[in-house]
């Protein structure tokens, strides 16, 4: 155990911090966040607003989306009323909901403003909230999800995601490259925006358009995950087949595999699914591009995700450019009318890649660092173990030294449960290699409230500490 003791005032201070979250929902208790999955089905009748509407990026994106056909009806700029791009600007999201009746909002503000913008949209009960910003603090995302879990009105896509786009309905809420998309019947869900664009381009060149493309995003916790998207595609009459693009980090791909196994059992002629998993050849422990692209201890790597999907009959590809030909093949094998699906899509079959001109610059004689040193990724936001321990000193938490070999020890840790979208306690009665995570118990708890007494008791039982003296138990719980 790392944490040995906290004084009473520290606990009180921590709990006071945790309980200061306010409710945002008018939803009935019997409904929950899962009831909002249907809000992902956007189309030509989807009314869209932008938060941060008058900003440079939002303006450029809105102009492009409107020209493509997206029904943007206005936007929000805090404290301001007026007009922008010939559309109304309102001071709050609640006012926009009253006057413009939007079905969706795109959050086009910087990361340090995104949390407040998302919470304002939840409070106003906007059905679909799309957050594209990267670097939103993890604790802010946990707070947002603790709010989302209490309501059944708003669905979140993102954060750190390219957004969501309906090629059939000409509705884009995000920054996807429009020239690659064509209306059709392939549903796509992806962690990586870039890989999804490559997949879309491959499908379009093959004559297969897209129905709905959902960007799951690369953060540790996603507002909409693979299983959520698969549930939408299953019941979407415009979607005939599905593309899934995952990567290292979390267990979303394994959960998708479990869902697909069940789906194939209960449906006579299931929609064909092809998938790609990024990072199969990545060096273990190497820092990747996305904030969530890391495997926690006990989680599988990209190869185990690949095998999990392959074992349930998903057709795997090793490059996004292969999706077009692969989809044609598996659609035909499933007995579906490939020619009919292709003819119903106004796809740019002759689409070709464009190339930038290249100009050779004069070589400089300055010495260069070794290629190994230059390629070594670094992040200033990473904490070293010593720094992490220093942060705990503010709460008078004592740090125990690592146990010596041969001494029986237990594991008690706090991490993130990506499926539950909440903090999680991990408790294992042993730290022996090969047994620690196999015997570990995961207990998610509500952010802003903390673990309940019942959950703490369950942790004590898992650690075989439930036989401790009553005074020790009481001190642990309190």
What residues are labeled active site?
290
Burial (Cβ within 10 Å: 0-12, 13-18, ≥19) of residue 194? middle
CB count within 10 Å of CB 13 equals 15
Residues 435-474: b if buried by 16+ CB within 10 A, e if exposed: ebbeebeebbbbbbebbeeeebebbbebbebeeeeeeebe
The answer to whether the beta carbons of residues 102 and 96 sit under 8 Å apart is yes
Residues in the chain, overall count: 478
How many Cα atoms are found within 13 Å in the side-chain-facing hemisphere of 181?
27
Burial (Cβ within 10 Å: 0-12, 13-18, ≥19) of residue 375? exposed
Return phi, psi of residue 466, to 5°: -70, -10
With CA atoms as reference, report the closest residue to 104 among 42, 59, 193, 54.
42
> CB neighbours of 18 closer than 8 A, spacing ≥ 6?
447, 448, 449, 450
Residue 234's alpha-carbon distances to 3, 20, 419, in angstroms, are 46, 39, 20
> CB neighbours of 453 closer than 8 A, spacing ≥ 6?
477
Structure tokens at 149: 């879990």
Q: Are strands 422-428 and 411-417 parallel, antiparallel or unpaired?
A: antiparallel
The answer to whether the beta carbons of residues 90 and 74 sit under 8 Å apart is yes
Report residue 282 CA to chain centroid gap.
21
What secondary structure letter does DSSP report for 350? T
Helices 193-205 and 323-333 cross at an angle (nearest 10°) of 60
CA terminus-to-terminus distance, the chain: 17
């Amino acid at each position: 155990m790392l944490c040995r003791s906290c004084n009473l005032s520290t606990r009180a201070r921590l709990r006071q911090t945790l309980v200061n979250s306010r409710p945002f929902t008018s939803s009935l208790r019997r409904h929950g966040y899962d009831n909002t999955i249907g809000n992902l089905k956007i189309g030509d009748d989807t009314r869209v607003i932008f938060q941060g509407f008058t900003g440079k990026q939002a303006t450029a994106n809105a102009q492009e989306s409107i020209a493509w056909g997206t029904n943007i009806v206005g936007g929000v700029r805090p404290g301001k009323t007026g007009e922008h791009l010939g559309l109304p600007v309102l001071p709050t999201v609640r006012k926009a909901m009253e006057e413009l009746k939007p079905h969706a909002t795109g959050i086009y503000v910087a990361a340090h403003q995104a949390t407040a913008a998302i919470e304002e949209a939840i409070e106003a009960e906007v059905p679909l909230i799309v957050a594209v910003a990267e670097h939103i603090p993890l604790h802010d995302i946990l707070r947002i999800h603790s709010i989302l879990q209490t309501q059944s009105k708003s669905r979140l896509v993102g954060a750190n995601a390219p957004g969501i786009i309906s090629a059939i309905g000409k509705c884009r809420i995000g920054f996807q490259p429009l020239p690659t998309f064509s209306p059709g019947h392939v549903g796509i869900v992806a962690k990586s925006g870039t890989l999804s664009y490559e997949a879309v381009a491959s499908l379009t060149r093959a004559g297969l358009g897209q129905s709905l493309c959902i960007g799951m995003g690369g953060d540790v916790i996603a507002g909409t995950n693979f299983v959520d998207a698969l549930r939408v595609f299953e019941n979407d009459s415009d979607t005939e087949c599905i593309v899934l693009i995952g990567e290292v980090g979390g267990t979303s791909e394994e959960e998708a595999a479990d869902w697909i196994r069940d789906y194939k059992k209960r449906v006579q002629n299931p929609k064909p699914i092809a998938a790609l998993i990024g990072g199969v050849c990545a060096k273990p422990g190497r820092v990747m591009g996305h904030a969530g692209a890391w495997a926690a201890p006990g989680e599988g790597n990209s190869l185990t995700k690949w095998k999990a999907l392959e074992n349930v009959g998903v057709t795997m590809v090793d490059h996004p450019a292969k999706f077009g030909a692969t989809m044609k093949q598996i659609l035909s094998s499933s007995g579906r009318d490939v020619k009919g699906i292709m003819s119903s899509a106004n796809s740019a079959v002759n689409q070709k890649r464009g190339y930038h001109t290249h100009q050779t610059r004069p070589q400089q004689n300055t010495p260069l660092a070794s290629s190994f040193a230059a390629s070594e990724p670094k992040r200033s936001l990473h904490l070293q173990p010593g720094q992490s321990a220093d942060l705990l000193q503010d709460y008078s938490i004592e740090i125990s030294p690592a146990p010596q070999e041969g001494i029986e020890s237990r594991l008690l840790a706090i991490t993130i449960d990506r499926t539950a979208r909440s903090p999680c306690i991990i408790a294992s009665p042993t730290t022996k290699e090969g047994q620690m995570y196999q015997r570990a118990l995961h207990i998610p708890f509500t952010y802003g409230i903390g673990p309940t007494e019942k959950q703490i008791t369950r942790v004590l039982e898992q650690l075989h500490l439930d036989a401790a003296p009553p005074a020790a138990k009481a001190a642990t719980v309190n």
